[in-house]
Structures are given as C-alpha cells and as structure tokens.
Amino acid sequence: MDLDAGEVVWHIDKQAMLKTFNRHLENEEKMLESIHGLLDKVEDEKMKPLFDEILADEEQHHRMLSRLIDIVESIDVSDEEWEEFYRKRLQDEWPDF
C-alpha cells in the first residue's frame, strides 16, 4: 500500500488494516514486556548485549507500527472523493462507459 501516492483507501480496508495493526501492536507490547523480564534474569554477560539488541529492534518496530497506525487513522476520504475515484476507474477500464 502506497499511502504517499494518494491511493484511496476504502473505509472497510482502513478498519481491517487498523484491526490488524492494533493486534500486531498488542503482540509487540507483550514481546517488549517479555524481553524486559528476561533482561532482568539474564546472568550471562555475553547474552545481555544480544537481548539489548533484540529489545532495541522491537522498540523501533513498535514505534514504526504506532506511526503507521496514526497515518492510517488520519486518512479521511469524502464521498465526493470516492465518487471521483470510481468515476475515473470506470473511465480508465471502460472508456465508452
């Protein structure tokens, strides 16, 4: 999906995307909690940097996913824009329509 290209996103698609992204965000939060819990228990000093890297990666992914949710939530398409979008699509696919 290319949000920067100005592609129109159906309301239903938007809701499905948000549901999927939010579920993924919840899983990310559980993963972050698990990693934090593991970090407190790791005694092997050689393993701590690995868990620190995993934690940093998960935190970055979590921030990116949160930002993507914000972007999708901000998409607002008016009825007129929908009508214009479909009119153009119909004309592109069936010029004589």
DSSP code string of 38-96: HHHH---TTTHHHHHHHHHHHHHHHHHHHHHHHHHHH----HHHHHHHHHHHHHHH-TT
pLDDT score recorded for residue 72: 83
Classify residue 38: in a domain, yes or no.
Answer: yes
Note whether 28 and 58 are within 8 A (CB): yes
Q: What's the structural domain count of the chain?
A: 1
Classify residue 43: in a domain, yes or no.
Answer: yes
| This prediction's pTM | 0.64
Alpha-carbon distance of 36 to 57, in angstroms, equals 13
- 9-61 confidence digits (pLDDT tens): 566 677 888 899 999 999 989 989 988 888 888 888 888 898 889 899 999 99
Classify residue 46: in a domain, yes or no.
Answer: yes
Classify residue 51: in a domain, yes or no.
Answer: yes
Classify residue 12: in a domain, yes or no.
Answer: no
Classify residue 82: in a domain, yes or no.
Answer: yes
Write the CA distances from 89 to 6, 11, 73, 85, 95, integer angstroms: 14, 18, 24, 6, 10
What is residue 5's DSSP assignment? G
pLDDT at 2 over 60: no
Full residue range of the structural domain in which residue 49 is found: 29-88
